[in-house]
Structure 1
Amino acid sequence: MSEHTRPAGPTAGPTAGPTTGPTTGPTAGPTAGPTTGPTTGPTTGPAAWWRAFRRMPDSVRVSTYVVAGLVLSLVVAGLFALALARRPLPQTGGELEVPGVAGTVTVLRDGAGVPQVYADSVTDLAIAQGYVTAQERFFQMDVRRRSASGTLAELVGGGALPGDRVACTLGFRVVAQQEVALLSPDTRAFLEAYADGVNAYLAQQEPSELAVEYTLLDLDGADSAPEDWTAVDSLTWLKAYGWDLGGGAADEVERVLVADAVGSQRAEQLWPAYSHQTVTPVVTGGAVVDGRFEPGATEGGTRNPQRVGFGPRRVRAVGAAGRALDALPEGVGRGPGVGSNAVVVGAEASATGAPLLAVDPHLAAQVPGPFMQVGLHCRDVGPECPWDVAGFSLPGVPGVVQGHNAEVAWGMAAAGLDTTDLVVERIRDGRVLTDRRTRPVRTRTETIDVAGAGSELLTVRTTRHGPILSDIDPAAREAGEAAPAARGADLDEELAIAVQWAGSTPAPTLDALVDLALAEDVATARQALSSWAVPAVDVVLADREGTVGVQVAGAVPVRKSGRDTTEPTAGWRAETEWTGRTLAYGALPFTTQPADGVAVAANQAPVGTDYPFHLGTTWDPGSRASRLRDLVVSEPQDVGSLQEAQRDSLSPLAPVLVPALLAVGLDDGYADDGQRLLEDWDLTQPAAGSGAAAAAYLNATWRELLALTFHDELPAQVWPDGGPRWVEVVAGLLDSPQDPWWDDVTTDRVEDRDDVLRRAMLEARDELTRRQAREAEQWTWGHVHRLFLTSPGLVGDGVALDLARRVVEPDAWEVGGGPGAVDATGWDASRGFEVTTTPAMRMVLSLEDWDDSRWVSLTGVSGHPTSSHYTDQTDLLVAGGTLPFLFSPEAVADAADSELTLRPAP
């Protein structure tokens, strides 16, 4: 209040009292005497403020009105927005009527919101899982089915069109529609009951009550009312999940573009041969005898067809296929950094006297996370109701993907088997050339609706090998039409790139998940996996009887010729064809007697070089697998030591690069401050604390080194991502100081290895100085290596989408680890230090006592940003913590934080 408007007369305290009466006492009393004029009355509080306000000049009063109005509007808007954001929060206590359930279902949630469902029938369990999952994650489910079906643009607009075109072309939903009939009656019934549960929840809610994203997207005029969930929706998403974690097509694209840029000989340097001698495979020993894999066999038959040359290739068409693959929205993550650690420890290597099992897949950094914890329990487990399982589910797919039942535990790691080929097709007048004749190209038309922009028609062409990806890029198609595909071909012959994928053949993969949940021991679990098609996985297994093992599972195509499928094949040559068969399940590698009582599956080669069938070539180089195995076999393991192993951040790059960096001379002071950090470094990569400064400097130097060495000669589409393969590449180049890769072809001088190392260190020093501090000791790896969780469905531009991203995408976390480390937080060196892939969950299971197990998820159970369980587990995961993974009815009941009862609707 300004001086000239202060009321006349002193006040006796902080609050005003009556104007007459005593002036002493514990509280403010009256003034010393009556005041005069219009200021008579209270000297503070609303009345005094109002008198002072009336004395202000008109311009001041008007400004104050405006400010007060704005503040009030912001407060009201904030409260309204909060109410809208909290509206979708589900009911987790009391009772609800749910159509379809026949009996009473109990849902207990613990302090982290994890639901444990108890029912008297399998149907009620499935309905309840669908209902509860929709309560927490329906928007994620809707985005998943739309992304996989090619209908995301209908919800979010034109920004999703490129991905929708690719999803329609690949035809995930077309295959899923055929798969329903292949499922066993029990699986189909469970799947349909799950859909009924989802739809029961949808029927009770308005779109704004399902997720705040629907409310916000309505601002752009999107029709956000979701359609009912169907069995095909679940299978379509499961098909896209298989595509994300399998394949090999992107690697074929990269090889073609690199060879075109620098020639085949130099390109080979960028794909070092896999070292079977130094990396223990997933399955050791054994051989294929009479078409079946026998773990104890030492000799077997052989099948090793000769390689056949590819012939002419058109780089632009292949590049277009690669861009199409990149446009497909990531369901759970693709490409470098995606992988898994899976470990099983037998009783002889366990400090508990019983097996242990641990798994942590590394997937895209998304919110909500790809998994949701859940328990599904029959109250009276028996033939009529055999379910008693808990673990991590995929929202939108019934059952549990990773977890355990009362007798068996399982965890999955991506196997990296070669299940995809790019195929060069020669097409003329609507017919594709085969080895002896031409065949018609099949076509179908897809309609893609776009929110606020009508619709577009997409013509999908398909050959006998699969859909044509290069059609998605019109410029590439024109290039293919204008150039001959092969020597002697007519100029009007078109060249196109088709994709042939094992997942395009319908298969009952969901049967495997359901049967796995009901397995009684490792033997029946292995039998359950015989239905698994895509993605190809290494499954670690353990049972309460003490058997442990690992099984490779998945549909592996049998090719007529050659082990080398690393480049696109010629579609018109008979010898490059698939036979139409997949490798017999009995021939896939497995063991139930792992060496040292320990099996480690960390995306390395699944079996040794004596295996007679082609499984693939693009394995992880194995530093993570070797490190994890060393940690686990070093001493008897328990739950705590396995958790510690999962958090190991030792850099696989450091032993390769640090000696070379320390050998390069730099000027004392500013220039070598970073270099001196490496001298006593323990090679770990924490986010902060001891070693964090050295980790920041090494990784910054690594990024600069890759750019200086390779960006001048490689197209931007294939610049190094800095993952484990590139560590192997640079390790080889460090032994050749004058290798042409060290030279920068854009300069007049010829650079060598030490020139590049020196410049990389100096530029890293400058970069970290700009981003953090001049004093090298103050740098931290977590300051630049941050975990941003993005919402994969909110693609494109617009006020509503931008607002939605601001609401649902949380602030970043500073994290440690790095690519190739056991604590695998991947980042792309061609883009920056931000985390692109991260542990999506961690689970350590104790078969001695299930209730001693631990787990944690990338994000919380809830998909609602105003829920306390939205990212509560992210905080825990980043800090290296876990939650109790309780299983027994008594332990679950004791830990229950809420109880929801689902009753039949009248």
Structure 2
Amino acid sequence: MPANTSAAPSGNHGQQSRKKKRGRGRLIVIVLVLAVIAGIGYGAYWSVDTVRASFPQTTGEIKLEGLSGNVEVKRDDYGIPQIYADSDTDLFRAQGFVQAQDRFYEMDVRRHMTSGRLSEMFGSGQVKTDSFLRTLGWRKVAQQEYDTKLSASTKKYLQAYSEGVNSYLKGKDAKDISVEYAALNLTGDYTPEKWDPVDSVAWLKAMAWDLRSNMQDEIDRSLMTTRLSTKQIDDLYPAYPYSRNAPIVTEGGVDAVTGKFDQSTSTEGSTTGSNTASGATQGLQSQLSALSDTLDEIPALLGPSGSGIGSNSWVVAGKYTTTGMPLLANDPHLAPQLPSLWYQMGLHCRTVSATCQYDTAGYTFSGMPGVIIGHNADISWGFTNLGADVTDLYLEKVTDDGYLYDGETKPFTTREETIKVAGGSSKKIVIRETNNGPLVSDRDTELEKVGKDAPVTNSAPDRGTGYAVALKWTALQPGKSMDAVFEMDKAKDWGSFRAAAKDFEVPSQNLIYADTKNHIGYQAPGTIPQRPEGYDGTMPAPGWDSKYAWKKDPIPFSALPYEYDPPRGYIVTANQAVIDEKKYPYLLTKDWGYGTRSQRITDLIQSKIKGGGKISTEDMQTMQMDNSSEIAKLLTPYLLKIDIKDPQVREAQKLLEGWDYTQEPDSASAAYFNAVWRNILMLSIGDKLPKELRPKGDCINVHPAGDTGPVDDQDSLVRECGERDADSAQPDGGDRYFEVMRKLVKEPNSSWWDAAKSGVDDPSKGRDKLLGRALKDARWELTAKLGKDIDTWTWGRLHQLMLRNQTLGTSGPGLIQRVLNRGPWNLGGGEAAVDATGWNAAGGYGVVWVPSMRMVVNLKDMDKSRWINLTGASGHAYSAHYTDQTDKWSDGELLDWSFSKDAVDKSTVDTLTLTP
């Protein structure tokens, strides 16, 4: 990846001083002059006045319509705002105004995405995405939630928030809001609409979509049937290792009499097995493959799909901490974005009362009121993805007249949607729904071609095979998750926290808890379906047969697992299994994360406790940066036993001798091992997967097939993808594959080790031959990428983070991308490490998900809590707060987190007063 050429220096260049930040203005002017000379594309000419016009006013006074009293907005040296008000509505009205000041462009793009209207901003290239999102109907369901489910107080707060956003927008042209509008040339005929309360609610649907669990696994397993046996598929989806990697909840079960979960009860587990109709997937490969391609194109706001992505959270009881009170840590692993998905903020009632109930701080979403993760004066909480299976794909037998169900043809529920396209004509689509949900397969290219010259009707053409694919998803039913956000923000104890969690229906999350009374806890919430006996949701089901239908009611909240003050004194959640399925009567999912990170965190905690030590805030912070590689611990002893004759490959192999398996940015050993691991996956498993699962990632550079001599120059290397079998694919390398390899490495003659399609004249068979080939290929690959001298190799040079502006930073003109983007940063950490700077082996070594924020909450003294964001508070590319936290984030540092009035006052550098 080329060196950073953006306006703001970043990466491993040391910490930026405030003087350097102030001096950035000179660089901005240079960039702007270059932009004018280049015409910047789209005919938009940026001036210094244009840039400054979009910066928020952070001092003095601003009149804000609708306020009942003065509101203070106090910002610290990082631009993080703390808001003080005397009523709930004033508090949330000010939150809307302040978030719009810093992040409105982000908010505007986000609401166009959640409502399937990206084409209105970005043109015809987004029509396919909009069509799919309209089919899902996020905005439609959000409207239903607002109209029929949410409490009166929640609606009042959403309305106040919207009015705050609209007060900011009033009288502003788009170019006065954000420089991206000027770059898109939207200023002439595009005026941002007023914010609507449903714009905020719809964001919860985007959260739920990216955290929907195993939908892609359902597709992949079905596609694998074209090439792999049932046993081979089972090999690639091993059972969760309960005996080695502990689940979250280790005690308790569902009481047979009351039906409620009880920590002192033990019950037998679910008998739900795997079952699909014989031949149900025959003829559906094209639809499922098309659906998989469509999913890849949908914006992943929270993170890319793939095993390994997740989050960490853990809480330690006071008996094991240096403070004598709980410590709680959280770091959600999400897609790297610029600006960061999170927005740090404090929401404070000057006096907590019946009319002003909130005193909370933490991480918010721009465009949505309230605090999502953080603490108030009494409790703290964190989230990780529970991973419950809340989606199922149903294969439908369809005709023009409807769909088959229990022998009868039932009519589709249809609706027509019009997609407006910037600079083009509108496009109409028809959405068809069955009793199992919308037909997502209708959005493939075949339908678009058929319907291009035909009038829109209420029945789309048959696919030819007579099949379609419907999506059943809990998030497509109206719920009350927005109520839960506000209730959680003001919860005072375990009881009120659990009451709030009951309404947190989607997305289903692991909630950890701590309070100032020295209690810790865990709750699994969410609307999780009950499937019929014999069906486990791991493969698409026949929608025409009612015996595969979900039961009417989901798993009762009272039966969902929880823990409160467990005797062991700590709780760890990192996307591992919630509870041993043998001890629980309900099916939560068959596709857990495999517990690599959770067990490492547990081991670190236990090591400290068993050694007689107490855990400090600094210890929690150190644990967050633990970068030990579990797959390296497993495989390195085998790799070192391989007899390598080639001196250059042997030189690289020696890097693994004495290595402690840590993945520091400057580690040559980590660089080489991860390259070996990637090649092992490609040679052993990737070659054997069907072509429909072929990744869209980068190919790798290797020696020409059959050439085993030394690498003299990079020209002697070839693109591996060009030499490999056309039907080859590659796994993503997540911790599911750690578990696959744990079993496979003990079977040296397994057919998985046969690399007949590896591009070698003498096909290799057996584990050791394949490992030897991987050692060689990795040496050649890194020679091409990092040079012949292994002393110059570092993991960070391979494993780089680029922060890209969410729209123009990925697809705009090169000059704009250089202006709006930042990076690279050379990072440590890696796949399924606690410091989960994830990379996808199917596409290369670049960082594709990150700890999007990190926090450690001190329940003894909230002012001694610490936090960090991936980027900064501002969404304005030229602001000093655009990426001013990133260098500290990359180094594992945390910022002081002021909460009390005195501490906030001491850290305040700018105060803005909002007046009625």
Are 1:198 and 2:210 an aligned pair? no
Give the Cα–Cα distance (whole angstroms) in 1 for the partners of residues 375 and 405 of structure 2. 48
Would the aligned equivalents of 1:288 and 1:587 in 2 still touch at CA under 8 Å? yes
Q: 1:329 aligns with which of 299, 306, 317?
A: 299
- 1:522 corresponds to: 494
Cα shift readout 1:683-724 (whole Å, capped 9, x = no counterpart): 000112xxx100000011111221222332222046311111
Amino acid at match of 1:400: V
Would the aligned equivalents of 1:341 and 1:413 in 2 still touch at CA under 8 Å? yes
- 1:48 corresponds to: none
Give the Cα–Cα distance (whole angstroms) in 1 for the partners of residues 525 and 531 of structure 2. 18
Give 1:372 deviation, angstroms: 0.3
Would the aligned equivalents of 2:270 and 2:584 in 1 still touch at CA under 8 Å? no
Q: 2:678 aligns with which of 688, 692, 703?
A: 703
Give the Cα–Cα distance (whole angstroms) in 2 for the partners of residues 72 and 723 of structure 1. 42
SS of 1:360's partner is strand
Are 1:790 and 2:804 an aligned pair? yes
Segment drifting more, 296-305 vs 371-380: 296-305
- 1:665 corresponds to: 643
1:75–1:705: structure 2 CA closer, same or farther, 3 Å change rule? closer
Would the aligned equivalents of 1:428 and 1:493 in 2 still touch at CA under 8 Å? no
Tell me the TM-score normalized by structure 1: 0.87
Give 1:448 deviation, angstroms: 1.2
Give 1:793 deviation, angstroms: 3.3
Would the aligned equivalents of 2:386 and 2:578 in 1 still touch at CA under 8 Å? yes
Would the aligned equivalents of 1:324 and 1:470 in 2 still touch at CA under 8 Å? no
Cα shift readout 1:246-304 (whole Å, capped 9, x = no counterpart): 23211101111122222322121111111111111111110101354433333347663
Cα shift readout 1:187-231 (whole Å, capped 9, x = no counterpart): 111111111111110114221121111110017x88432111111
Give the Cα–Cα distance (whole angstroms) in 1 for the partners of residues 368 and 258 of structure 2. 34
Give 1:795 deviation, angstroms: 8.3
1:828–1:73: structure 2 CA closer, same or farther, 3 Å change rule? closer
1:418–1:535: structure 2 CA closer, same or farther, 3 Å change rule? same
Give the Cα–Cα distance (whole angstroms) in 2 for the partners of residues 232 and 99 of structure 1. 21
Are 1:209 and 2:176 an aligned pair? yes
Q: 1:846 aligns with which of 858, 871, 874?
A: 858
Would the aligned equivalents of 2:36 and 2:45 in 1 still touch at CA under 8 Å? no
Q: 1:810 aligns with which of 817, 822, 832?
A: 822
- 2:882 corresponds to: 870
What does residue range 123-162 of structure 1 map to in structure 2 within 5 Å?
123-162=89-128
Identity of paired residues, percent?
40
Are 1:752 and 2:766 an aligned pair? yes
What does residue range 347-362 of structure 1 map to in structure 2 within 5 Å?
347-362=318-333
Give the Cα–Cα distance (whole angstroms) in 1 for the partners of residues 463 and 328 of structure 2. 59
Segment drifting more, 365-374 vs 659-668: 659-668
Q: 1:616 aligns with which of 584, 589, 612?
A: 589
Cα shift readout 1:434-457 (whole Å, capped 9, x = no counterpart): 124221112111111222122211
Give the Cα–Cα distance (whole angstroms) in 2 for the partners of residues 301 and 736 of structure 1. 33
Segment drifting more, 741-750 vs 437-446: 741-750
SS of 1:835's partner is coil
Give 1:653 deviation, angstroms: 1.2
- 1:774 corresponds to: 788
Are 1:282 and 2:248 an aligned pair? yes
Give 1:308 deviation, angstroms: 3.5
Q: Which runs of 5+ in 2 are unaligned?
A: 1-32, 451-461, 609-613, 696-728
Are 1:894 and 2:861 an aligned pair? no
Give the Cα–Cα distance (whole angstroms) in 1 for the partners of residues 819 and 417 of structure 2. 33
Give 1:429 deviation, angstroms: 2.8
What does residue range 546-585 of structure 1 map to in structure 2 within 5 Å?
546-585=518-557
Amino acid at match of 1:639: T
Would the aligned equivalents of 2:523 and 2:561 in 1 still touch at CA under 8 Å? yes
Give 1:887 deviation, angstroms: 0.3
Give 1:76 deviation, angstroms: 12
Q: 2:346 aligns with which of 363, 372, 375?
A: 375
Q: 1:833 aligns with which of 845, 858, 861?
A: 845
Give the Cα–Cα distance (whole angstroms) in 2 for the partners of residues 191 and 545 of structure 1. 32
- 1:227 corresponds to: 193
RMSD (Å), alpha carbons: 2.2
Q: Which runs of 5+ in 1 are unaligned?
A: 1-69, 480-489
Count of aligned pairs: 819
Segment drifting more, 450-459 vs 524-533: 450-459
Would the aligned equivalents of 1:282 and 1:601 in 2 still touch at CA under 8 Å? yes
Would the aligned equivalents of 1:291 and 1:586 in 2 still touch at CA under 8 Å? no
Give the Cα–Cα distance (whole angstroms) in 2 for the partners of residues 607 and 784 of structure 1. 37
Are 1:857 and 2:869 an aligned pair? yes
- 1:344 corresponds to: 315
- 1:30 corresponds to: none
1:878–1:330: structure 2 CA closer, same or farther, 3 Å change rule? same
Give the Cα–Cα distance (whole angstroms) in 1 for the partners of residues 35 and 678 of structure 2. 49
Would the aligned equivalents of 1:247 and 1:501 in 2 still touch at CA under 8 Å? no
Amino acid at match of 1:199: N
Would the aligned equivalents of 2:535 and 2:548 in 1 still touch at CA under 8 Å? no
Amino acid at match of 1:350: T
Amino acid at match of 2:562: F
- 1:649 corresponds to: 627
SS of 2:547's partner is helix
Give the Cα–Cα distance (whole angstroms) in 2 for the partners of residues 299 and 720 of structure 1. 38
Cα shift readout 1:420-444 (whole Å, capped 9, x = no counterpart): 0010001123211112422111211
Q: 1:720 aligns with which of 731, 746, 755?
A: 731
Amino acid at match of 1:792: Q
1:122–1:798: structure 2 CA closer, same or farther, 3 Å change rule? closer
1:431–1:658: structure 2 CA closer, same or farther, 3 Å change rule? same
Are 1:318 and 2:288 an aligned pair? yes
Give 1:147 deviation, angstroms: 1.1
Q: 1:637 aligns with which of 615, 635, 641?
A: 615
1:843–1:551: structure 2 CA closer, same or farther, 3 Å change rule? same
Cα shift readout 1:296-346 (whole Å, capped 9, x = no counterpart): 333347663555433321211111222222221112114224311011111
Are 1:600 and 2:572 an aligned pair? yes
Give the Cα–Cα distance (whole angstroms) in 1 for the partners of residues 129 and 803 of structure 2. 20
Give 1:637 deviation, angstroms: 1.2
What does residue range 480-491 of structure 1 map to in structure 2 within 5 Å?
none
Amino acid at match of 2:58: T
What does residue range 427-442 of structure 1 map to in structure 2 within 5 Å?
427-442=398-413
Amino acid at match of 1:706: L
Give 1:657 deviation, angstroms: 1.3
1:273–1:381: structure 2 CA closer, same or farther, 3 Å change rule? same
SS of 2:126's partner is helix
Give the Cα–Cα distance (whole angstroms) in 1 for the partners of residues 592 and 189 of structure 2. 44
Segment drifting more, 589-598 vs 534-543: 589-598
- 1:763 corresponds to: 777
1:400–1:809: structure 2 CA closer, same or farther, 3 Å change rule? same
SS of 2:219's partner is helix
1:152–1:478: structure 2 CA closer, same or farther, 3 Å change rule? closer
Give the Cα–Cα distance (whole angstroms) in 1 for the partners of residues 34 and 99 of structure 2. 39
Give 1:808 deviation, angstroms: 1.6
Amino acid at match of 1:211: S
What does residue range 398-417 of structure 1 map to in structure 2 within 5 Å?
398-417=369-388
Amino acid at match of 1:786: Q
Tell me the TM-score normalized by structure 2: 0.86
Segment drifting more, 313-322 vs 608-617: 313-322
